[in-house]
Amino acid sequence: MNVPTWVWALTMLAIAGLLAFDFFFHVRKAHVPKLREAAVWSALYVGIAVLFGVGMLMFAGSDVGSEYFAGYVTEKALSVDNLFVFLVIIASFRVPREDQQKVLLFGIVFALIARTGFIFLGAALINAFAWIFYLFGLILLLTAGSILKPDDDDSRKADNFVIRTAKKLIRTTEHYDGDKLFTKVDGKRAMTPMLLVMVALGGTDILFALDSIPAIFGLTQHVYIVFTATAFSLLGLRQLYFLIDGLLDRLVYLSYGLAAILGFIGVKLILHALHENNVPFINDGEPVRVAEISTTLSLVVIIGVLLITVIASLLSKRGKAEMAIANARRHATAYLDSEYTHDPEERERIFKKLLGERDQIMALGPKYQQQVRGEPALTDLLDRAASSHDEAVDRGEAEQFTRKGLTS
């Protein structure tokens, strides 16, 4: 598949234009996106990706179109998994709700740049060394196994080595100054947590690239398809974050689905490597006659696994409980954090969410109610959030009474 230089240039210009539009019309002015805004723009970006895929089917053929859609669906699923870690990092750094969009957009831009570099590196390795497919397949099989284990990798936590080093080398503040990266404290220039959280997201994006790039090269070796499928999967990720915010913890079986998909692609890569084999100690350097997995079958398997895991997660009582408990903890923490948001409507929305999650836990029965009672830190957090809200309501009523007294 030979793609003219002007097509590459036009594609990159279009992607850069979409990112610039996103920044100037949505992110530049700090605000909390409403559900409708997130839904509309998420649907728009998915629509653009699908239209691009239809164009690939029409102008490049069914094989190329199938490879694009298989790559796009896989990368999109992996990007949703990335949101879990983004959520942990953003919560750890207590990023104000109004400024989370800017942080996420930076993470997406950094991810796109990092993955583009990995894509061209991967393509160069494939052209130079046929055995690289064995390595890619092994990486995916190991990744599939690691997904099923608790993630103890320090580099994916908010307090990783890069962050600790940055804090030692550069004067940092404990509090945000709007969305500024640097501020002045006692007349001296200091770095705000806003820059640190961007560094944390950038560091995790590099690790995500190590997982996702071998996966998509297992579905197609066309660099243009790899690049566009990866880019379109990242575009709209910011809006998706706010759209499914609060539902991420509900997808309790997503990790099993992703492990199955990565394992499947890993096997596909190793079969392809055997089919193209030139490694001397394997079959005397001759190709091995093995069945290869078609792109169409890969697409069916990927979509089927994702549908099964998502539906199973949504129907799972355990998923409902974990979502309600995790969100209750997160919303109570956010409500008690005076720096999290200065928007009264957003604070009230958070508390209403907290009440809804309490009702969900109560409706799930004694087993999950006992689970909450068994976490004294959580129950204390919920009690303090309720007391804080009562005090805020009392203050609001007192202020309203005073204003009426002054105007009467």
Using CA atoms, how far apart are residues 288 and 130, in angstroms rounded to an integer? 14
* Confidence band of 226 (pLDDT split at 50, 70, 90): very high
pLDDT in tens, 186-205: 777 777 778 778 877 877 77
Is it the case that residue 69 has pLDDT exceeding 90? yes
Least reliable range by pLDDT among 75-89, 90-104, 349-363, 385-399 = 385-399
Q: How far apart are CA 159 and CA 178, in angstroms?
A: 22
pTM of the predicted structure, to 2 decimals: 0.75
Nearest CA to 109 out of 228, 224, 20 is that of 20
pLDDT of residue 52: 94
Chain segment 256-302, per-residue pLDDT in tens: 888 898 899 989 989 888 888 878 888 788 888 888 888 888 889 99
pLDDT single digits (tens) 379-408: 777 788 888 888 777 766 455 444 444 333
The Cα 211–Cα 205 span in angstroms is 10
β-pair partners for 172: 191
H helices then E strands: how many in the chain?
15, 2
Average pLDDT for 167-179: 70
Domain spans, the chain: 5-315, 321-395
Q: Is residue 347 over pLDDT 70?
A: yes
The angle, 0 to 180 degrees and rounded to 10, between the axes of the packed helices 62-92 and 295-315 is 40
Mean pLDDT, residues 118-140: 86
Output the pLDDT for position 67.
92
Give the integer Cα–Cα distance in Å for 145 and 164: 29
Q: What CA–CA distance (Å, rounded) separates 60 from 208?
A: 29
Neighbouring C-alpha atoms within 13 Å toward the C-beta of 131: 7
pLDDT at site 402: 43
Handedness of CA 320, 201, 236, 23 (dihedral sign): positive
Q: What is the mean pLDDT of the chain?
A: 80
Stretch among 117-121, 152-156, 336-340 having the lowest mean pLDDT: 152-156
Rg (CA), the chain: 24
pLDDT score for 167: 63
pLDDT, greater one: 67 or 372: 67
**pLDDT for position 155:** 42
Task: Report percent pLDDT > 70 for the chain.
Answer: 86
Predicted pLDDT of residue 111: 83
> How many CB atoms lie under 10 A from the CB of residue 338?
9
